[in-house]
Structure 1
Amino acid sequence: MSKKEYDWANGATLSSHSKIKLKILDEYFREYLRIRCVLPQQGKFRLAIVDGFCGAGLYDDGPIGSPIIFLRVLKEISEELNIIRAIEGFKPLDMECSLYFNDLSQEAIYLLQSNIDPVMKEIAATCPRLSLDINFSIGAFEENKTSICDNIKSKNFKNVLFNLDQYGYTQVSEKSLGYLMGVARSTEIFLTFAIESFLTYLTPSRVIEISTNSSVPFAGNIVDIDKNQNKNQWLGSVEKVIFEALRYISSYVSPFSIHNPDGWRYWLIHFANSYKARQVYNDVLHKNKSSQAHFGRSGLNMLYYDPNEELNLYLFDRASRSHARNQLDRDIPNLLETNGGHMRIDEFYSNSYNQTPAHSDDINFSLVNNPDLHVITSSGGTRRSTNTIKSGDFVMLRNQRSFFSALTG
């Protein structure tokens, strides 16, 4: 099922799972720009955005789609950052962005050109520091991706963001995902798909192979979505299969489903090669609590299964975070113990973030407040506040482990 099935001319309805996805995309993209443009001495930031299943940009009764979200966020963050820079006496920041809007539907692209016209005129009139280059293409993304990526490479973009909002799964292959991740030095992908299509694409034999090799522990036929879609164990099994199938695409893969009352039918996966990107994505999910779901552990090894350990539905809410802190207090010392008792903070983050749904504040809280740990600065001082931790610091096990760790380790 592809975007062409939307009746854009007569008003396309925004589904509940798409509404969740667009909100997460909006908030993540804002944080992405703020973080990538944080250095005061930085004078320019260049970015390419590829919206592979873009649609017409406007839904029935007014909600905006991803193309207009990207444009509005670029405008608002460009203005925000330059106001802050002017107040602080820093030089202004120029943003240069090429956007590639692709859709199988010719009607969608024609309507999109009209729908973004007012936004483009507003940007041209009010944002002198934002330079945009808009490109449109019609056809299957798999067929158009090479020419789009060649154009990106010819412009020497180092930062690329792909938004691939497919309804099924067959519109973007695993091989294509690997290809896209190699387009630029810093590439990230948002991939939406229907789990039923994904499991069909994998074929039952491959699902069984992954399940057997990964020791997926949960009972039941994970392919039978209609019978299992509301079962926590089914969610945990499918999440592990997705992760095992796609983990080689990038260094950090978030295999979380979109949480809906009618069951876990759609997944929104984020691929990145930077732990900072996964860190920010986790924090955005916590800000949008209950928007995505994970069943399993909430510490550093979210997909590990221990039959003696209680597993919970993690909805990125307050209750989930409380449970995560308890597991982090056990998991972090155990990780350090297997790495000689100490790690650089950036090395610790790099090793931790691919298999944790935890909020960065909860991880840092455990680093500073766990009685078995201390964070040491490069000059030998001790960090006592979570917001002062820096990438050059070290986290170390204390010589004397606590009574608590002896009971729980």
Structure 2
Amino acid sequence: MKENKGGERSIFFLDQYGYSDVKINEINRILKELKNSEIILTFNIDSMFPYFSKDNHFRKALINLEIDNYIDWNVVAQLPKDGHSYRVYIQRQVAKALQELSNAKFMTLFFIKPQASKEWGYWLVHLCNAYKAHEVMKSLHWNNATYFGHTLEPGIFEFGYEANRDLELIGNSGSLFDFDELSKQKCIDALHMDFGKILFNQDDKVAVGHLFHSFVTNTPASEEILQSSLKQLHEEKSVEILNADGKPRKPSKIYHKTDIIVPSRQFRLF
């Protein structure tokens, strides 16, 4: 693949039904050695539940995947196995493990909604180092809303576990995010607030491209939604946006990656 004249672009489809065929360090090697490579990884999350146990015999699959050390087993023991908080906790932990072990710059981790009455089905994970490839995958999720969902926040969500705030995050996660029109509006509104807080707290100018790249993995938002959320901040004058020449821009559906966001002195959100 490296010798291809067209470059090293390649997509690997990995079906981890048994969780033993491909270890995460192999994914790391693929992304590192093959430029523009992408990994599409499936997890049968229904079958993974029994592996979340203090018994090493049951945890073997997680050990094979190298994510065992990312699970706080004391928390697992305290959560009801059939509750929403259990699903949210596992998603946060496995997502953090996949992101850190693969060393991918961008990741999506969403559910393939089952046809039958089962609540979970499969995870579809996309790992890559190219922003454009990530955006294409996000667009597929939104364009095929019937088939995908996730259980974390509609704005910017967190991976991993923090003892002082994880219960609050779990409690506020809500129901399954369905990538429908209602979900889209929730996503725009939530990102509008989250971006506002981030820009307000850092109190410094930032390039549009840097803001989007920094948080795109931690949100279900597509490029279109990121742009809409920024437009809301701009329209309400919570931020100013300057072009590459330093001239103020009017609110727009499309901002360039080189445009500069400047927090307003009178932030309307706060």
Q: TM-score range by the shorter chain?
A: 0.7 to 0.9
CA RMSD of aligned residues (A): 2.9
Secondary structure of the residue aligned to 1:256 is strand
After TM superposition, the structure 1 = structure 2 runs for residues 4-403 of structure 1, keeping only pairs within 5 Å, are: 152-155=1-4, 157-195=7-45, 196-197=47-48, 199=51, 200=59, 201-203=61-63, 209-212=69-72, 219-221=79-81, 228=82, 231-248=83-100, 249=102, 250-260=104-114, 261-303=117-159, 305=166, 307=168, 310-312=172-174, 313-370=176-233, 371=236, 372-379=238-245, 380-387=247-254, 389-402=255-268
TM-score (norm 1): 0.54
Secondary structure of the residue aligned to 2:257 is coil
Deviations 1:184-217 (A, max 9, x none): 221111111322359441159x877524399789
Secondary structure of the residue aligned to 2:155 is coil
Whether the 8 Å CA contact 2:40–2:126 is kept in 1: the answer is yes
Q: 1:275 to 1:334 in 2, by over 3 A?
A: farther
Deviations 1:307-365 (A, max 9, x none): 17632221111121222222112100222234343211111111011101113222211
Higher normalized contact order (CA 8 Å, seq sep 6+, divided by chain length): 2
2: CA distance between counterparts of 1:331 and 1:218?
30
Deviations 1:13-48 (A, max 9, x none): xxxxxxxxxxxxxxxxxxxxxxxxxxxxxxxxxxxx
Which piece of structure 1 moves more, 390-399 or 376-385?
Answer: 376-385
Q: 1:293 to 1:163 in 2, by over 3 A?
A: same
1: CA distance between counterparts of 2:193 and 2:244?
25
Whether the 8 Å CA contact 1:376–1:395 is kept in 2: the answer is yes
**Gap regions ≥5 residues in structure 1:** 1-151, 222-227
Task: Report what 1:103 is aligned to.
Answer: none
Q: Which residue type is aligned with residue 400 of structure 1?
A: Q
Which piece of structure 1 moves more, 189-198 or 310-319?
Answer: 189-198
Whether the 8 Å CA contact 1:218–1:233 is kept in 2: the answer is no
State the percentage of identical aligned residues. 21
2: CA distance between counterparts of 1:234 and 1:293?
16
Question: How many pairs are equivalent?
Answer: 243
Q: Which residue type is aligned with residue 282 of structure 1?
A: K
Q: 1:378 to 1:163 in 2, by over 3 A?
A: same
Task: Indicate the structure (1 or 2) with the bigger Cα radius of gyration.
Answer: 1
2: CA distance between counterparts of 1:247 and 1:382?
36
Q: 1:258 to 1:338 in 2, by over 3 A?
A: same
Whether the 8 Å CA contact 2:112–2:121 is kept in 1: the answer is yes
Whether the 8 Å CA contact 1:235–1:294 is kept in 2: the answer is no
**Gap regions ≥5 residues in structure 2:** 52-58, 160-164
Secondary structure of the residue aligned to 1:311 is coil
User: Post-superposition shift, 1:302?
Assistant: 4.9
2: CA distance between counterparts of 1:255 and 1:311?
16
